[in-house]
Amino acid sequence: MTSLQERPLLPAPFVWPTPRQRRLQSIFLALFCVLALAPGVLLAVGAMRDPMLLAGLPAASVLAAAFGGAVMGIMVERRLGFMLVPLRGGPEAKVEIRPRSQKGVGLVVPFGQVLGHLAAFRTPFKVAAYLEAVAASPVGAVFFLVGGTMLPRELVTWTDVLRASSGSGAPSANAVDLEEVAAAATRDPLAAPAGIEALPIDAGAIFRYRGGVPVLRVWLAAFALAGLSPLVLPWLGLASWGVTALAVGSIESILLYGILLCGPLTVELEVSGTTLIGRRRRFGRTLWRWVRDARTVGLDITGLPASALRCEGRVRGITSPGVGGPDAAAVAWVAAAIRACARGDRVSAHRA
């Protein structure tokens, strides 16, 4: 009894990104704004004296689009993120994961036994670290991207306090228990929640929902506009119209296709045995296709209220309320349903 009385109360909610990270974001935001605007301003001033300086317009336009996109990404990231609200302390800790903006559903997850497990996955640019929780859940793993190569000290300290604390709290009114969602999806993988379409097929099932990455689409549109800037070179007599038109046309075609891939579009996930086939569809056509192991699917909530699936270390099928997609609880249901279909017994029983 004495040891219980000496245990501290539940810690205050943990907010990601932390205040320290938000200060760093502000510094980089100012730096990228300067880098985006300075080349164009200097070029415009110099061209008033020497029009031939306009030959540097393509390079200045690409820099403006690149650094402008970075500014846009940072501003979006400042509006996203999550809060870890403790509901129960001790070895069997539970937390509610809420969007930092307070818009959207919260997810109640067990957060004691595997909290603090650090794993790494490789991207084309760097090795990023993430915190993995609920690894034994039917939903698979829940990932919180924290960046860098180690967990931030604020999160480590908060985790230690939570494990040593006692007491309990109530979830928010719109919170959804992740274990209950996973259990429902396992019982009947075809009884999809709102925003999800589930169809049986011979060897498994197909799941569809509305997805897309509108911020990336805007960034690609900015690059598409920047890609028109080389047309100034024939006007200055520095290149032929034919060669320039061929180069610009090739670049614009790639960028426009990328804009189509960013949606809003339909995310289609076909489970056939242990194989998961993902498609991005638009206008009734498949624009992109990938194949992975369905048993590795988990829920990714690195930027609530946006959510996605993570499969073999890659984020797939991003969606958010901004594109009219389902909420994070529904995407968690999809992750659990895919894993149930990969086992095969539940879908077979449903058909029978």
Give me the tens of pLDDT residue by residue for the chain, a chain 352 residues long.
Answer: 444 455 678 889 988 778 888 888 889 999 999 999 988 888 888 888 888 888 888 888 989 998 988 888 888 777 777 888 999 888 788 888 888 877 778 888 877 554 444 444 443 444 444 455 544 455 666 666 555 445 667 877 888 888 888 888 888 888 888 888 888 888 899 999 999 999 998 878 999 999 998 888 888 999 999 889 888 888 888 888 888 899 899 999 999 999 999 889 999 999 998 999 999 999 889 999 999 998 888 888 877 888 899 888 788 999 988 889 999 899 999 998 998 888 775 554 455 4
Helix (H, G, I), strand (E, B) or coil at 138: coil
Instruction: Judge if 31 and 69 occupy the same domain.
Output: yes
**If we measure between CA atoms, which residue out of 72, 107, 110 comes closest to residue 88?**
110
Same domain, 207 and 310: yes
Check whether residue 168 and residue 246 sit in a common domain.
Answer: no
Do 343 and 235 share a structural domain? no
* Whether residue 93 sits in one domain with residue 167: yes
Whether residue 2 lies inside any domain: the answer is: no
Residues 267 and 238 in one domain: no
CA angle 261, 182, 187 (to 5 degrees): 110
Taking alpha carbons only, the member of 97, 92, 131 closest to residue 113 is: 92
What angle in degrees, to the nearest 10, is found between the helix axes of 178-187 and 328-343? 40
Question: What's the 3-state SS for 42-63?
Answer: HHHHHHCCCHHHHHHHHHHHHH
Q: Is residue 1 part of a domain?
A: no
Q: How many domains does the chain have?
A: 2
8 assigned to some structural domain: no
Judge if 275 and 153 occupy the same domain: yes
Residue 54 lies in a domain: yes
Distance CA 146, CA 282 (A): 32
In Å, how far are 6, 103, 269 from 82, measured between CA atoms? Answer: 30, 11, 26
Cis amide prior to 214 (ω within 30 degrees): no
| Domain of 202, in residue numbers | 82-212+263-351
- Does residue 205 share a domain with residue 100? yes
Q: Are 287 and 280 in contact (CB under 8 A)?
A: yes
